[in-house]
Chains A and B, each alone.
Chain A
Amino acid sequence: MRNGALIIFLKDMRESLRNRRTLLRMLILPGLLLPFGGHYLLTYTDRHREDLNKVVLEYAVSGEQNLPDLVKLYESDSNFRRVNVPEEQFPEAVKTKRIRFALVIPKDAGTALKAGESVSVQFIYHQADPGELAVKDRGTAPLEAYSVKQRNWRLVFLGLADEGKRASLLEPVTYAVVNTASDRERLGFGIGGSVAYLFMVFALMGASFAAIDLVAGEKEKGTLEILVMLPTPRWQIVLGKYLVVFAFGLVYATLSALSISALLTYEISSATAVRNVITQIGPSEIFMLWTTLLPVTAFFSAVVLTVSVYARSYREASSLVSFASVAGMMLSTVVFVPGINLTWAWSVVPISNLGLMIRELIRGRLTDYLVVMPIFATTLAVGVALILVSTALFRREAIIYRE
Chain B
Amino acid sequence: MLEVNSIGKSFPLKRQKAPGTREADPREQGTTFHALRDVSISLRKGAILGLLGANGAGKTTLMRILATSLKPTSGSATLFGLDIVKDAEEVRKRIGFLSGGTGLYDRLSARELLEFYGSLYGLSGEGLRRRIDALIEELGIGGFDHRRIETLSSGMKQRVSIARSLIHSPELIIFDEPTTGLDVPSAHITLSYIESCRSSGKSVIFSTHHMHEIEKLCDEVVLIQEGVSCFHGTVEQMKSSTNCVHLDDAYLAITRGKGASSSPSRGDVDTRRAGLKLVREGGAL
Contacts and interface: CB of A to CB of B under 8 A. Distances in A.
Nearest to B104: A223
Interface in A138-177: none
B121 A7 contact: no
B103 A222 contact: yes
Contacts of B97: 226, 229
Interface residues of A, number: 25
Secondary structure of the B side of the interface? Answer: loop
Contact of B103 (A7, A226, A398): A226
B69 A231 contact: no
Interface in B82-118: 89-90, 92-93, 95, 97, 99, 101-108, 112, 116-117
Contact of B71 (A2, A229, A230, A397): A397
Interface residues of B, number: 33
B124 A1 contact: yes
B120 interface: yes
Q: Which of B69, B92, B120 is most buried by chain A, counting CB atoms within 10 A of its CB?
A: B120
A15 B108 CA distance: 6
A232 B120 contact: yes
A14 B149 CA distance: 14
A228 B89 CA distance: 10
A229 B108 contact: no
B67 A230 contact: no
Secondary structure of the A side of the interface? Answer: helix
A69 B11 CA distance: 91
Contacts of B89: 231, 233
B103 A1 contact: no
A15 B103 contact: no
A291 to B, nearest CB: 32
Given A2-B119, A230-B92, A221 B103 contact: yes
Interface string A22-34: 0000000000000
Contacts of B99: 222, 225-226
Given A225-B99, A226-B103, A397 B69 contact: yes
A311 interface: no
Interface of B: 11-12, 64, 67-71, 89-90, 92-93, 95, 97, 99, 101-108, 112, 116-117, 119-122, 124, 148, 164
8 A-B pairs closest in CB distance? A222-B101, A222-B103, A18-B107, A231-B92, A1-B122, A11-B116, A7-B119, A226-B103
